C-alpha cells in the first residue's frame, strides 16, 4: 500500500520502531552541556554539523564557551572565532542577542531558564532576534528536555522523499502532527528527530529521489544494505 501521508499515531510509532531498531540510541545532542547545546543551535543554522564542530572547538579553545565569557567578548572577536560555521557576522550578532536575553531573564543560568514553563519559554525564545521556530524548539528539547518535536527543513525533506507526508505540509504542520499524534515525551521526541536526521544522512545521502534507497527498504520492512 502506498503511503501518501502520515495520519496515524500507529504509522508514526511504526516508523520510530523501525529506525530505532536499526540505529539504536543516538544520544543527541552532541555537546558537553545544555549551554553548549543552546550555542550550537545558533551555529548550526543552515550549516553542516562538521563546520559547527570547528566553531565549537574554537570557542572552547579561547575559553569563550561560557555564559560570562560570551557576554564579555567583543562581537567582532566572537565573529572571527566562529568563522568556520559560516554566516559568522550574523551568527555572532545572534549569539550576542541570545546571551543578552539569557542574562536579562535568567541571570545567565540554564537551570533557571529551563524551569520556565514550556509555552512561556518558547514564546520568549521566539522573541529573541535570530531565533526562529526550529532553533527555539532545538533549545527547548535538547538543552531543556522539554517535550517538543523539532521539525525542520531536513525532517520535512526526508519525510517528503519517502512519501510520508505530502508537499503542501509545512514544517509547522509537521510539528503539530507529531505533537498531536505522539505522547509528549521529551526522550521520544529527542530520539525521533535524531533518528530522522541520522537516517537521512546515512541511508539516503545524495539520493534526490529515495524510491529505492536503503531507507525506503527499511521503512518497507526490508533490511538496508
Q: Residue numbers of the site for DNA (CB under 7 A)? A: 28-30, 40-41, 44-51, 54, 79, 83-84, 86-91, 128-136, 138, 142, 152-154, 157, 197, 201, 206
Q: How far is the CB of 186 from DNA (least distance, A)?
A: 15
Count the neighbouring beta carbons within 10 Å of the beta carbon of residue 4: 10
Largest CA distance in the chain: 58
Choice between 23 and 88, CB closer to DNA: 88
Choice between 67 and 122, CB closer to DNA: 122
Query: Hey, what's the cell of 218?
Result: 527499511
Q: How far is the CB of 42 from DNA (least distance, A)?
A: 8
DSSP structural state of residue 2:
-
37, 139 in Cβ contact below 8 A? yes
Distance CA 57, CA 64 (A): 10
Q: How far is the CB of 88 from DNA (least distance, A)?
A: 5
Q: How far is the CB of 153 from DNA (least distance, A)?
A: 5
Distance CA 39, CA 65 (A): 8
Choice between 11 and 26, CB closer to DNA: 26
Choice between 11 and 54, CB closer to DNA: 54
Amino acid at each position: 500500500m502506498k503511503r501518501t501521508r502520515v495520519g496515524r499515531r500507529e504509522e508514526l510509532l511504526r516508523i520510530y520502531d523501525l529506525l530505532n531498531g536499526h540505529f539504536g540510541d543516538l544520544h543527541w545532542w552532541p555537546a558537553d552541556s545544555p549551554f553548549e547545546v543552546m550555542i550550537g543551535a545558533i551555529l548550526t543554522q543552515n550549516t553542516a554539523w562538521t563546520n559547527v564542530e570547528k566553531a565549537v572547538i574554537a570557542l572552547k579553545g579561547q575559553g569563550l564557551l561560557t555564559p560570562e565569557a560570551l557576554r564579555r567578548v567583543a562581537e567582532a572577536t566572537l565573529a572571527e572565532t566562529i568563522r568556520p560555521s559560516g554566516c559568522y557576522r550574523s551568527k555572532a550578532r545572534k549569539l550576542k542577542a541570545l546571551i543578552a536575553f539569557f542574562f536579562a531573564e535568567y541571570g545567565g543560568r540554564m537551570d533557571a531558564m529551563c524551569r520556565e514553563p514550556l509555552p512561556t519559554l518558547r514564546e520568549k525564545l521566539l522573541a529573541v532576534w535570530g531565533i526562529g521556530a526550529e532553533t527555539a524548539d532545538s533549545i527547548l528539547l535538547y538543552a531543556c528536555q522539554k517535550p517538543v518535536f523539532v521539525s525542520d527543513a531536513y525532517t520535512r525533506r526526508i519525510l517528503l522523499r519517502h512519501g510520508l507526508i505530502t508537499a503542501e505540509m509545512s514544517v509547522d504542520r509537521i510539528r503539530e502532527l507529531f505533537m498531536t499524534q505522539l505522547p509528549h515525551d521529551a526522550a521520544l521526541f529527542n530520539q525521533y528527530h535524531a533518528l530522522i536526521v541520522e537516517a537521512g544522512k546515512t541511508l539516503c545521502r545524495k539520493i534526490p529521489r529515495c524510491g529505492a534507497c536503503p531507507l525506503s527498504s527499511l521503512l518497507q520492512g526490508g533490511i538496508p544494505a
